[in-house]
Amino acid sequence: MRPFTYERPTSLAEAFRILEAHGAAASILAGGTDLIIRLRDGTVRPEVVVDLKAIKERDDGLHERDGRLVIGGWAVMTDIAADARVRRDFTALAEAAQVVGSAQIRNRATLAGNICNASPAADTAPALLVYGAEVVATGSGGTRRVPIDDFFVGPGRTALGAGEIVTSIELPLPPGRRGGVHLRRTRRRGHDLASVTLACAVMDDGRARLAYGSVGPRPLLVTDESGVLADSTAPAEARDRLLDRLLGAASPSPKSMRASPAYRLAMLRVLALRAADIAARRVAGGAAA
Amino acid sequence: MTATVPIRCTVNGRPRELVVVAHHTLLDALRDDLGLTGTKECCLVGECGACTVILNGRSVDSCLVLAAEADGGTILTVEGLAVDGRLSALQQAFLDTGAAQCGFCIPGQLLAAHALLALTPHPDRAEVEEGLAGNLCRCAGYEQIIEAVLRAADEPAGGARAVEQPMVRQTTSDPAATPDASVAPQ
């Protein structure tokens, strides 16, 4: 690894001072499961690594507040996947967090880090999109909320400003009964990056939200107000036409080694229908969200 | 000049004070500064699990943790599993089932299994597979490894006994700690 210095600020104010002093030469360290790989392969070459884990305002828990589930910016995947409220009200997010990396990775990796790295294949991104998450970004100038759909810009690029830190991610509690699911396609069972990663949420009136990643530069959100996507008894041609529209923006990279564009597009259709059917069954069962 | 960071941590029950290089990982510090070479260096991207150790009660890939992040932490490595020259029940089960072939992945497998049993004393096969999904074995000794973990968990007092020594303690002073009291064996 190329040498760098290590800073461990104990307050947000101190962190902002360090980040401002070093600008683009500073890298933020949360869980480190992506950053340390990039430090080692040289794709990130900071002069200073700023470890956020000693900050006194650090929130690594999950709380309900004002009709929202607030996921602290320091919460790790293990805790998000195990949280009873996430499993009940945001099932797709619990399922997505549960398949990120391995147990070892999930014990370190934060949800905030996952979205800040903005990998097109980030498994938690589709779930956050279907649940209408808001990213709470804090900088020396104050705090602002960014809808998750505006947060993702491109591969590795987000709407986060220089010197801003994601201090929490907030999810509005479900307005009614809802079924949700996360599905993905990987090369091997167990620990792998997704060739297609997808989440679907269906309301009890049949409206559906579908989001998919790893098939273009950023994860995409689409909605179906007609109820056809979530209706397994709808004519196959109607669902096919709907999928043509919903999945039309997918543009998998031909350069990725994980899967060919044709394979990804074929699996995207399969997973979209499968997810809609599972989510619809779950809302009918009334058990999960 | 190379930046360094002074750290204090507890490794296998023993308090340590170290001055680590800022860009070195916990894996580097364990192997090169402390001479604990049971923890293996392999893929260095968090895919193989050979470098697995337990930090503050949770399994981590020590190649993806900076040594400086371990400041204030409690670390358990494979060298800390046996007590008074007696193998842990988990280690004994690995031996009894022939789980170790070339042996290179075994320290990581043991620590991942140790963390699994601390959380889930009686895992089913699927839970063992998931708990060890981050640990690759090039000899493909997976069947024996899974059998060993299930056998250790089947002991009269269950997996909790298999990992009863040494205790994995939480520290409150560790900024890198992710508290989870349920990890400490009862």
Considering only the beta carbons, identify the residue of B22, B60, B63 that sits closest to A4.
Answer: B22
Query: Is B131 close to A103, i.e. CB distance below 8 A?
Result: yes
- Residue B16 neighbours by CB distance under 10 Å: 15
H or E stretch including B126? helix B125-131
- Residue A31 neighbours by CB distance under 10 Å: 29
Burial of B3 (0-12, 13-18, 19+ CB in 10 A): middle
- Complex ipTM: 0.94
Cross-strand pairs, B66: B25
- Residue B17 neighbours by CB distance under 10 Å: 8
pLDDT at B176 over 50: no
Cβ atoms of A275 and A283 closer than 8 Å: no
State whether residue B47 is helix, strand or coil.
Answer: coil
Smallest CA–CA separation between B92 and chain A, in Å? Answer: 23
Cβ of residue B5 closer than 8 Å to a chain A Cβ: yes
Interface test with A, best of B18, B66, B182 (most A CBs within 10 A): B66
pLDDT of residue A179: 97
Distances from the Cα of B127 to the Cα of B116, B146, B169, angstroms: 9, 10, 24
Q: In chain A, which residues have their Cβ closer than 8 Å to the Cβ of B115?
A: 103
What would you report as the CA-atom Rg of chain A, rounded to the nearest whole angstrom? 19
The rounded distance, in Å, linking the Cα atoms of A197 and A192 is 11
Q: Annotate B136-163 with b (16+ C-beta within 10 A) or e (fewer).
A: bbeeebbebbbbbbbbbbebeebbbbbb
Q: In chain B, which residues have their Cβ closer than 8 Å to the Cβ of A27?
A: none
- Per residue in B2-23, pLDDT (tens digit) is 999 999 999 999 999 999 999 9
Considering only the beta carbons, identify the residue of B3, B52, B58 that sits closest to A5.
Answer: B3
Cβ atoms of A147 and A138 closer than 8 Å: no
Residue found by looking up tokens 């064996």 in the block: B185
The parts of chain A modelled with pLDDT lower than 50 are 288
Cβ of residue B182 closer than 8 Å to a chain A Cβ: no
Cβ atoms of A221 and A130 closer than 8 Å: yes
For chain A, first and last CA: distance in Å? 44
Overall pTM > 0.90: yes
pLDDT of residue B52: 98
Interface test with A, best of B178, B180, B182 (most A CBs within 10 A): B178
Considering only the beta carbons, identify the residue of B25, B46, B115 that sits closest to A105.
Answer: B46
Cross-strand pairs, A137: A144, A166
pLDDT of residue A2: 95
Nearest CA in chain B to A76: B178
Strand order in the sheet with A26-29: A5-7, A48-51, A26-29
pLDDT of residue B155: 75
Q: Which residues contact A187 (CB under 8 A, 6 or more apart)?
A: A195, A258, A259
Cβ of residue B131 closer than 8 Å to a chain A Cβ: yes
Considering only the beta carbons, identify the residue of B59, B64, B69 that sits closest to A103.
Answer: B59
Chain-wide mean pLDDT for chain B? 88
- Per residue in B144-157, pLDDT (tens digit) is 999 999 999 987 65
Residue found by looking up tokens 């007696």 in the block: B86
Nearest CA in chain A to B129: A190
Query: Is B115 close to A103, i.e. CB distance below 8 A?
Result: yes
pLDDT at B172 over 50: no
The rounded distance, in Å, linking the Cα atoms of A147 and A159 is 10
Considering only the beta carbons, identify the residue of A5, A8, A104 that sits closest to B60.
Answer: A104
Q: Annotate B87-97 with b (16+ C-beta within 10 A) or e (fewer).
A: ebbbbbbbeeb
Q: Which amino acid is at A243?
A: L
Query: Is A3 close to B64, i.e. CB distance below 8 A?
Result: no
Cβ atoms of A126 and A93 closer than 8 Å: no
β B74-76/B4-11 pair status = parallel
Q: In chain A, which residues have their Cβ closer than 8 Å to the Cβ of B25?
A: 1, 36
Q: Tell me the pLDDT band of B158, cut-offs 50, 70 and 90.
A: low
Q: Which residues contact A236 (CB under 8 A, 6 or more apart)?
A: none
Considering only the beta carbons, identify the residue of B23, B25, B135 that sits closest to A4.
Answer: B23
- Per residue in A66-94, pLDDT (tens digit) is 999 999 999 999 999 999 999 999 999 99
- Per residue in B61-105, pLDDT (tens digit) is 999 999 999 999 999 999 999 999 999 999 999 999 999 999 999
Tell which B residues from 44 to 103 touch A, by Cβ distance under 8 Å. Answer: 44-47, 49, 52, 58-61, 63-66, 68-69, 71
- Residue A252 neighbours by CB distance under 10 Å: 22
Considering only the beta carbons, identify the residue of A3, A53, A190 that sits closest to B175.
Answer: A53
Return the axis-axis angle of helices B106-119 and B89-97, rounded to nearest 10°.
130
Query: Is A1 close to B5, i.e. CB distance below 8 A?
Result: no
Query: Is A36 close to B65, i.e. CB distance below 8 A?
Result: yes
Structure tokens at B106: 């075994």
Q: Which residues contact A93 (CB under 8 A, 6 or more apart)?
A: A80, A86, A124, A127, A128, A131, A171, A180, A182, A199
